[in-house]
Structure 1
Amino acid sequence: MLVYHHLMNYHYGLNHSVKMLLYVEFLMLVLVVYN
Structure 2
Amino acid sequence: MNTQPVIGISGCLTGSAVRFDGGHKRMGFVMDELA
* TM-score, normalisation: structure 2: 0.24
Q: Of the two, which has the highest radius of gyration?
A: 1
